[in-house]
Structure 1
Amino acid sequence: MFIGCKIALLCEGTIAVLLRDDAPGLRYANMWDLPGGGREPGEAPEQTLRREVAEEIGIAGFGISSVFEKASDLDPMQSSWFFVSHIAPDLVAQMRLGDEGQAFQMMPLTRYLADPQVIGFQKQWVADYLAGIGRQS
């Protein structure tokens, strides 16, 4: 069983990130988050991912270059899926903030990897991918 999915959408040295809402009690409030989210009943990992990306930043039709099964930060006994996609600038131009979060941007990877406002476990997933570390599924 898996809980949810996240994706690193990479383009020319940048990564797509969403600034989470700053609501009391919200997990990772006011932090930079990768697109993706929780599984709905009956969804496979890629279905969850594509639905969440469409809702959050309004794009579809991207390819997937790598997939990793990770322990969930919500429940280490369950899994989360981490996807990676290298996208073209024309797809970036179609991105827009959906109905979740305060802001969206393509953040330079160097800033992403150093920014304390980025969710830590996601930053590590991206760093491991970039370093060629991790088990690909």
Structure 2
Amino acid sequence: MTSSGITAVALAVLERQGRWLIQLRDDRDTIVAPGRWGLFGGHMEPGETPEQSLRRELLEEIGFSSGPVTPWFRSAAGGRVRHVFRVDLHIEPAQLQLHEGQDMALASLEELGSGRVWSPRLGQLRPLAPSLQEALARQLRVQPTRPS
């Protein structure tokens, strides 16, 4: 959180062969978008740049050390600033270790566009977090969908 009370986060659209690696967030009411599919990343620590924060979060959450990261967009809403990057996932997802969240999945834009993605671990469909909806909308140049 910044001194002005704004929460800043850095998030990654991890891309592999036209698909996005996404994280199923824990079912805890104390976090943003519990039980929904979101982007990997998280809160920026004091003194960190968005890129430094993103690299730290990817290591913490999935043990991934990325190559170049490309800033994609910045958005602000509801007291939160999102710095979103595009990152090439140059390794197989099976080589990653999930340390935060319930599941991860490599989803096509078509799957994401449905508003729900299947969780192999939980055996159920789960909705998308607002941050993922926003990134998808920017990718597809349409308004975010609202899961029912």
- Class of the TM-score when normalised by the shorter of the 2 chains: 0.7 to 0.9
SS of corresponding position for 1:65: strand
Structure 2 matches for 1:1-137, cutoff 5 A? 3-71=8-76, 73-75=77-79, 79-88=81-90, 90=91, 92-98=93-99, 100-116=100-116, 117-131=127-141
Q: State the 1:35 CA deviation.
A: 0.3
Higher strand share: 2
Larger deviation: 35-44 or 2-11? 2-11
Name the CA shift for 1:118/1:63 in 2 (closer, same or farther; >3 Å).
same
How high is the sequence identity, in percent, across the aligned residues? 29
Query: Which stretch shows the higher mean deviation, 42-51 or 60-69?
Result: 60-69
Shift of 1:6: 0.7
Deviation by residue 1:46-95 (Cα, 9 ceiling, x = unmatched): 01000001111110133223432211x4415xx3201012333x353432
Between the two structures, name the one with larger relative contact order (CA 8 Å, sep ≥ 6): 1
Task: Please give the root-mean-square deviation of Cα atoms over the aligned residues, in Å.
Answer: 2.1
Look up the equivalent residue of 1:21 and give its one-letter code. Answer: D
Gaps of 5+ in 2: 117-126, 142-148
TM-score, L = length of structure 1: 0.79
Structure 1 residue 12: Cα displacement = 1.0
Asked whether the 8 Å contact 1:59–1:94 carries over to 2, the reply is: no
Indicate the SS of the match to 1:96.
coil
Q: TM-score, normalised by structure 2?
A: 0.74
Runs of 4+ more than 6 Å apart: none
Can you give the 5+ residue segments of structure 1 that lack an aligned partner in the other structure? 132-137
